[in-house]
Amino acid sequence: MRGAVGALAAVVSLPLLLAGPPAAGQAAAEPPPASGGLQRAFADAADAYAVPRGVLLGVAYLQSRWDAHGSAPSVTGGYGPMHLTDARTALARSGHAHHGGGEDRRGDDGRRPPRALAAGAARALGAGALPAALKTLERASELSGLPPERLRTDPAANARGGAALLADAQRRLGGPAGGSPADWYGAVARFSGADDTATATAYADEVFAVIRSGAARTTDSGGRVALEADRSAVRDPTQIARLRLRTADARGTDCPESVSCEWIPAPYAELSDGAYGNHDKADRPRSQSVRYIVVHDTEGYWDTALDLVRDPAYVSWQYTLRSRDGRIAQHVPLKDVAWHSGNWFVNAKSIGLEHEGFLAAPDAWYTEAMYRSSARLVRYLAKRYGIPLDRRHVLGHDNVPGTTATTIRGMHTDPGPYWDWAHYFTLLGKPFERAGGEGGGSRQAGSGQAGGEGAGGERGAVVTIRPDYSRHRPLYTGCTKPGEGCVPHGSGAVRLHTAPDASAPLVKDAGLRPGGEDSTTGVNDTGARASTGQQYAVAERRGAWTAVWYLGQKAWFHNPRELPTAVPGRGPLLTPKPGLDGIPVYGRAYPEAAAYPAGVPVQPVSPLPYRLLAGQRYVAGDRLPGEYFYARTFDTSHHQVVRGEELYYEIQFGHRLAFVKAADVRVLG
């Protein structure tokens, strides 16, 4: 969804986490001061409540990867490394949700966009309506004796509160205090807050996978936390039966067995004025290939997203993922085409995943549970359709190009600069490693002209954007108010300047600003931004600065040896054929006019307001024929796929992808 600042809070319907009075003697003393370190705080909290240390650390890793997020709340009002929920306090934070129905995420300019949503689509949440699952911090306070404000702001106290909740869950399930992690499988499942067996089981399985494999990382506060691998942490699914949870309806879903998935269908319905929605029937992959997976964030809450995808006059996507526990709802069969990206060519060849969250609120949290569930789903989809796991095929919504010059400014900007692409691709099993394999670049790029650079990408033709997410903290503005600085936060995006100087203006985007204005530091401004995993051709190097070809111009970013923001890459490059001063760039790869049969309107092949100039080089992606999926009527008998003889190359042209005609370019290497 499009990133913006708004004022909507919608009902978050999460299950009851824990209930009942605390056990005698469970309230504990104040936790040690923060100077003792978070590792020590977890150990002391676990010992105080007779929770195995590995269990507490494993749960906290799934909740937050041990980050405290600067005491900011998540989308479900969760605080601290244990994600203790206090939505009553967090409710003042709100964001733009799925509304503004005049936008056309179908992206087919031959068909009118869906009608606007009714004003009543937004629902306000009153303090009295909060479910118990959004008040677990209050329950942790009762169990631990620690004041709520301390639990919200002090990571050590927060760990103590989480341990108290786990111990209470174990006691209520009749499990033993202490013991081995295997005895706590049911309590971990209960801690997830899931109301169905599949989600609770998937959450517990992820926690136990972390316990068995171990983990270590430096948290957002700079401390080091480690969980030693424990192979004795064996899952015991029989404990799930004691939770007495419902069985979700997974019939009709296409999901891996390792996630929890429920079928909540989007309607295919004919409307009163002859229009229809909210997706198109198709026969993929027999009718056309599936080549892209598009990562979105909802810019709203789980319940709101589910309400809107069930509106026949709105738009659609294939899957929604819940922030708290990674739960997945599927809405559109994979063979059909959902309306989610704003570009009909991409829609017809993609699968859309909406993740609960807000791009402009970095601590709204793209949680570890959601990252892991999403990665499992993407691996499954990529294997099923033969989709390469790289940034030319696994896109952010903000990487999808506008279809024509007039649509560029309306294209969406999620999941934004705070989505951790490096971590996501590590979970996908395709980390962005150095092209030569020594660590730090991209081994995924395929064959072609080799990079061969050293640290920071000093030599070679291609670089892969790869800043250190936690240490790379460029200033963004507009997260809460226009022009106001955002909270400093890790980011996977680098900023591009017109010269090798941090004070130089940012590069211009002629599509976003036809008047020639400079790009800005706005969190929703993609005009001068390169994102982790994207690959660009090197144009020049000067000291700690690297220039790449970007939107038809030379764009500089800071890339010091001691903290590189790009690493060696490898990939085929293309450039205009000799004799051409420049060539047009397109936002979709449509067939030539002669390819259209009678009865199918010819779609214009409209160039974008950019030029790929002679001497410039760009990393080439797939070579593919022009293709158009004709689907403008509710009656599917008229639907057909038109393919032409004209061939295109996909390129990484700016922050978004683009297409150039194969007849206009030569491939180097």
Give the pLDDT of residue 121.
36
Task: Say if CB 359 and CB 419 are below 8 A apart.
Answer: yes
**Higher-pLDDT residue of 542, 249:** 542
Q: What is the DSSP letter of 477?
A: B
Q: Are residues 456 and 547 in the same domain?
A: yes
Q: What span, in angstroms and rounded, lies between the C-alpha atoms of 160 and 253?
A: 39
Q: What span, in angstroms and rounded, lies between the C-alpha atoms of 159 and 169?
A: 15
Q: Are residues 229 and 141 in the same domain?
A: yes
Q: Are residues 73 and 133 in the same domain?
A: yes
> Bridge-partner residues for 226, per DSSP?
216
Task: Say if CB 588 and CB 403 are below 8 A apart.
Answer: yes
Q: Are residues 46 and 178 in the same domain?
A: yes
Could you write out the DSSP letters of every residue in 343-358? Answer: -HHHHHTEEEEEESB-
Is residue 206 over pLDDT 90?
A: yes
Write the pLDDT tens digit of every residue in 37-61. 999 999 999 999 999 999 999 999 9
Last residue of a domain, one of 521, 555, 571: 571
Is residue 19 over pLDDT 50?
A: no
Let me know if 535 is exposed, middle or buried by CB neighbors in 10 A (0-12, 13-18, 19+).
Answer: buried
Last residue of a domain, one of 219, 243, 267: 243
Task: Say if CB 584 and CB 523 are below 8 A apart.
Answer: no
Helices (H) and strands (E) in the chain, counts: 12, 28
Q: Which residue has the tokens 């008229």?
A: 638
**Torsion angle, alpha carbons of 205, 211, 213, 215, to 10:** 120
User: 519's torsion region: left (phi>0), alpha (psi -120 to 50) or beta?
Assistant: beta
Q: Are residues 39 and 181 in the same domain?
A: yes
pLDDT, mean over the chain: 87
Give the pLDDT of residue 361.
85
Is residue 349 over pLDDT 50?
A: yes
Write the pLDDT tens digit of every residue in 111-143. 665 554 433 333 333 334 556 667 889 999 999
CB count, 10 Å around CB of 308? 27
Q: What span, in angstroms and rounded, lies between the C-alpha atoms of 249 and 263?
A: 6
Q: What span, in angstroms and rounded, lies between the C-alpha atoms of 32 and 57?
A: 17
Q: Are residues 552 and 598 in the same domain?
A: no
Label residue 1 by pLDDT band (50, 70, 90).
low
Domain tally, the chain: 4
Label residue 176 by pLDDT band (50, 70, 90).
very high
Give the pLDDT of residue 75.
83
Report which of 1, 3, 6 is spatially closest to residue 481, judged by C-alpha positions: 6
Structure tokens at 441: 């670049």
Write the pLDDT tens digit of every residue in 519-550. 999 999 999 999 999 999 999 999 999 999 99
Type of residue at 265: P
Asked if the structure places residue 445 within a domain, the reply is: yes
Is residue 273 over pLDDT 70?
A: yes
Is residue 217 over pLDDT 50?
A: yes
Q: How far is CA 431 from the centre of its chain?
A: 16
Percent of the chain surpassing pLDDT 90? 75
Asked if the structure places residue 431 within a domain, the reply is: no
Give the three-state DSSP class for 542.
strand
Asked if the structure places residue 633 within a domain, the reply is: yes
> Bridge-partner residues for 613, per DSSP?
582
Label residue 34 by pLDDT band (50, 70, 90).
very low
Q: Which residue has the tokens 């799930």?
A: 240
Query: Where in the sequence is the domain holding 644, given as residue range(s)?
Result: 576-668
Could you write out the DSSP letters of every residue in 408-462? Answer: GGG----S-TTS-HHHHHHHTT-----TTSSSSS-S-S-SSB-----TTS-SSSE
Mean pLDDT across 647-658: 98
CB count, 10 Å around CB of 299? 32
> Bridge-partner residues for 577, per DSSP?
none
Write the pLDDT tens digit of every residue in 599-625. 999 999 999 999 999 999 999 999 999
Strands (E), 439-552: 462-465, 493-495, 529-531, 535-542, 545-550
Structure tokens at 352: 């859309």
Task: Say if CB 405 and CB 606 are below 8 A apart.
Answer: yes
Report which of 508, 341, 315, 320 is spatially closest to residue 411, judged by C-alpha positions: 341
Q: Are residues 267 and 386 in the same domain?
A: yes
Q: Are residues 582 and 537 in the same domain?
A: no
Asked if the structure places residue 398 within a domain, the reply is: yes
Write the pLDDT tens digit of every residue in 80-109. 999 998 877 775 544 433 333 445 667 787
Asked if the structure places residue 261 within a domain, the reply is: yes
Write the pLDDT tens digit of every residue in 285-313. 999 999 999 999 999 889 999 999 999 99
Structure tokens at 354: 């909406």
Q: Are residues 270 and 359 in the same domain?
A: yes
Give the pLDDT of residue 24.
33
Mean pLDDT across 445-472: 63
Percent of the chain surpassing pLDDT 70? 85
Q: Are residues 260 and 405 in the same domain?
A: yes
Task: Say if CB 254 and CB 333 are below 8 A apart.
Answer: yes
**Higher-pLDDT residue of 499, 131:** 499
Write the pLDDT tens digit of every residue in 561-590. 999 999 999 999 999 999 999 999 999 999
Is residue 440 over pLDDT 80?
A: no
Within 8 A by CB and 6+ apart from 598, the residues are none
Q: What span, in angstroms and rounded, lies between the C-alpha atoms of 381 and 432?
A: 20
Asked if the structure places residue 478 within a domain, the reply is: yes
Q: Are residues 63 and 196 in the same domain?
A: yes
Q: What span, in angstroms and rounded, lies between the C-alpha atoms of 161 and 178?
A: 17
Q: Are residues 228 and 264 in the same domain?
A: no
Write the pLDDT tens digit of every residue in 379-409. 999 999 999 999 999 999 999 999 999 999 9
Task: Say if CB 103 and CB 2 are below 8 A apart.
Answer: yes
Q: What is the DSSP letter of 300?
A: B
What H or E segment, with its residue span, contains residue 161?
helix 155-172
Last residue of a domain, one of 548, 571, 594: 571
Is residue 227 over pLDDT 60?
A: yes
This prediction's pTM: 0.89
Give the pLDDT of residue 110.
66
Task: Say if CB 626 and CB 661 are below 8 A apart.
Answer: no
Report which of 173, 223, 154, 176 is spatially closest to residue 51, judged by C-alpha positions: 176
User: 654's torsion region: left (phi>0), alpha (psi -120 to 50) or beta?
Assistant: beta
Rg from Cα positions in the chain: 25
Asked if the structure places residue 337 within a domain, the reply is: yes
Asked if the structure places residue 199 within a domain, the reply is: yes
